[in-house]
Amino acid sequence: MSFDSSIDRRSVLAATGGAIAAALAGCIGGDGVSATSDDWEYLDDGPDYDGWFDNTGNFEGTVDWTGRDEVTVDVGAGDQGRLFAPPAIQIDAGTTVVWKWSGTGGPHNVVATDETFSSGGATASGDATFEYTFESAGTYRYVCQPHQNGGMVGAVDVV
């Protein structure tokens, strides 16, 4: 095997480092948890949450997920693993929301403030999921009870 001597060692190391970084980003990011996403389409005129998201680090608006049978919200997103991603979604009645734990940020749960749904006690398992099918229109606010005061809150707007 021969090498092209016109390629210097620094170029090879830079290319190799870039490839490794890209591979790791794919493993870390991939289909996994992120605090924000460029793929989310926000409503132009979303619901007024009356300050509900004032202490939430990743709220940029309500993500439009209407027209889908099932959607997934990440539990334990963000740098510290203490956010829902996305924090606010709009769906159609009859849509199932699946909350999927990342395994980071400590134990989490998903509890509606009006007690409509609850995942039960908090768990730190990265394999945990909870799902609920929303049949009635309305805005449903929910929290992670252990991290509510730190801004781990969410909302589902059902139309």
User: pLDDT tens digits for 97-131?
Assistant: 999 999 999 999 999 999 999 999 999 999 999 99
DSSP letters of 6-26? Answer: TS-HHHHHHHHHHHHHHHHHH
Q: Which pLDDT tens digit goes with each residue over 30-85?
A: 343 445 677 799 999 999 999 999 999 999 999 999 999 999 999 999 999 999 99
Domains of the chain, earliest start first? 63-158 (2.60.40.420)
pTM for the full predicted model: 0.78
